Amino acid sequence: MDQFLCVELLIGKEKLKKIHKASVTVVGLGAVGSYAVEALARAGVGKLRLVDFDKIKPSNLNRHIYALRSTIGRSKVELAAHRIADINPSCKVEAMECFAAEESLDHILNNKPDLVIDAIDSMNPKTQLISACYHKKMPIISSMGAATRVDPLALRVADLFDTRCCPIAKQLRGKLKKEGVGRGVICVYSEELKNPGAVDASNKASEDDYKRGRPRSKLGSLPTITGIFGLTIAHTALEILCGGFK
Q: Indicate yes or no: pTM above 0.85.
A: yes
**Does 208 have pLDDT greater than 70?**
no
pLDDT of the residue at 203: 43
pLDDT of the residue at 157: 98
Confidence of residue 120 (pLDDT cuts 50, 70, 90): very high
pLDDT of the residue at 193: 82
For 21-69, write each residue's pLDDT tens digit: 999 999 999 999 999 999 999 999 999 999 999 999 999 999 999 999 9
- Pairing status of strand 23-27 against strand 47-51: parallel
Q: ∠ CA(155), CA(121), CA(167), 5° rounding?
A: 55
Written as one letter, the residue type at 188 is V
Across the chain, mean pLDDT equals 91
What is the C-alpha separation between 157 and 197, in angstroms, rounded? 25
What is the C-alpha separation between 43 and 37, in angstroms, rounded? 10
Name the nearest CA neighbour of 172 among 212, 139, 134.
Answer: 134
**Does 7 have pLDDT greater than 60?**
yes
Mean pLDDT of 98-119: 95
Q: Answer whether 55's CB lies under 8 Å from 74's CB.
A: yes
pLDDT of the residue at 214: 46
Q: In sequence order, which residues have a C-beta less than 8 Å from that of residue 90 and are 6 or more positions away? A: 46
Mean pLDDT of 173-202: 83
**Does 205 have pLDDT greater than 50?**
no
CATH for 11-242? 3.40.50.720
**Does 207 have pLDDT greater than 50?**
no
Residue 79's alpha-carbon distances to 45, 54, 60, 71, 84, in angstroms, are: 18, 11, 14, 8, 9
**Does 131 have pLDDT greater than 80?**
yes
Each domain of the chain, given as residue ranges in start order, spans 11-242
Q: Answer whether 203's CB lies under 8 Å from 168's CB.
A: no
Confidence of residue 219 (pLDDT cuts 50, 70, 90): confident
Q: What percent of the chain has pLDDT over 90?
A: 84
Determine phi and psi for 121, rounding to 5 degrees.
Answer: -110, 15
